[in-house]
Structure 1
Amino acid sequence: MTPELQEQEERLQFDRFDHDDAWDLGSRLVGLARERGHAVTVDIRLGDHQIFHYALAGTSADNDEWIERKIRVVRRFGHSSYLVGQGYRDRGTTFEEQAHLEAALYAAHGGCFPIILRGTGPIGTVTVSGLPQLDDHRLVVEALGLFLRSKDSEV
């Protein structure tokens, strides 16, 4: 699974990303979640600046804590929170056992994906919390793919 996760990060990159893009992407994520009846919280940041945050009915402050923990992983390692956790699982261990980071602050669970600018690298994060970790990850990846395809069709 790790090569697939790495390919996602190579493929899902932006030429530009601004506040309006954050609104569009966040709204797309919220729309997908609503259509499917998912209770999730969605968060988008550029650097440390929270640009978009929405919590659907059925979520709680715990989702906000999960988001913070997942974001710290992406910022520290530069890769999606699911890819980081999967790397440890591929080595027959867990992030919690081997990363030597405080579990209350870091969670290598799926749902946080770096916003990557081509030629620049990660500039922010898009995060979902509320589903099982693989489902959180897949929802973010799906929304990023749809968003980027819609931008390509505008050109």
Structure 2
Amino acid sequence: MLIPELEAQERRLVLRSFTHDDAWHLGSLLVELARLRHAPVAVDIRRGPQQLFHCALPRSSADNDAWIDRKRRVVERYAESSYLVGTRFRAKGTAFEDSSRLDPDLFAAHGGSFPIAVEGAGVIGSVTVSGLPQAEDHALVVEALERFMATGRAVEGATH
């Protein structure tokens, strides 16, 4: 995916507000999308340092939780998606792990963590998925945010 596409996603996916209930609905939406695809993922939503939602689906593992933490820290540090940050480093012909000067045991610029941005407040948290290849983790989060914004918390074909 190209940097301009990733930047456009972040400009487009800005929420008017984000409450604890919104975290539940967005997280539930992500879980339903993942279940429909039989995706072995873990899902995490944070507002600042507070974890508002977490779910580990079958075939996910504690390793996914560790990846969530590492990807989330990239969003917290750069206020951009972990995929965009990693893509920028790759576009410069280097790797995040080699050039960021950040501990790779604590930070991973791999796709799957996306900033929760609110109009007038900026980035207030993150939504993260781990368990698929990085482009698919990223795409799942973007799809859920798009549906969350467009449909008011409904997944077509999902059961609640």
Output the TM-score relative to the length of structure 1.
Answer: 0.96
Determine the C-alpha separation between the residues in 2 that align with 1:50 and 1:143: 18
1:91 is displaced (CA, Å) by: 0.7
1:141 aligned residue: 142
Matches within 5 A, 1:22-37: 22-37=23-38
The residue number in structure 2 matching 1:10 is 11
Give the 3-state SS of the residue equivalent to 2:6 in structure 1: helix
Q: Residue 158 of structure 2 aligns with which residue?
A: none
> Deviation above 3 Å: which 4+ runs of structure 1?
none
| Letter aligned with residue 67 of structure 2 | W
Cα deviation, residue 119, structure 1: 1.8
5+ residue gaps, structure 1: none
CA deviations 1:40-89 (Å, max 9, x no partner) are 00000000000000000101110000000001100001100000000001
Q: What TM-score, normalized to structure 2?
A: 0.93
> How much is the aligned-residue C-alpha RMSD, in angstroms?
1.0
For residues 119 and 11 of structure 2, what CA distance do their matches in structure 1 show?
9
Aligned to 2:151: 150
SS in 1 for 2:152: helix
Q: Give 1:4 shift.
A: 0.3
Q: Shift in Å at residue 151 of structure 1? A: 3.2
Quote the sequence identity (%).
58
CA distance in 2 between counterparts of 1:121 and 1:150 reads: 22
Amino acid across the alignment from 2:56:
A
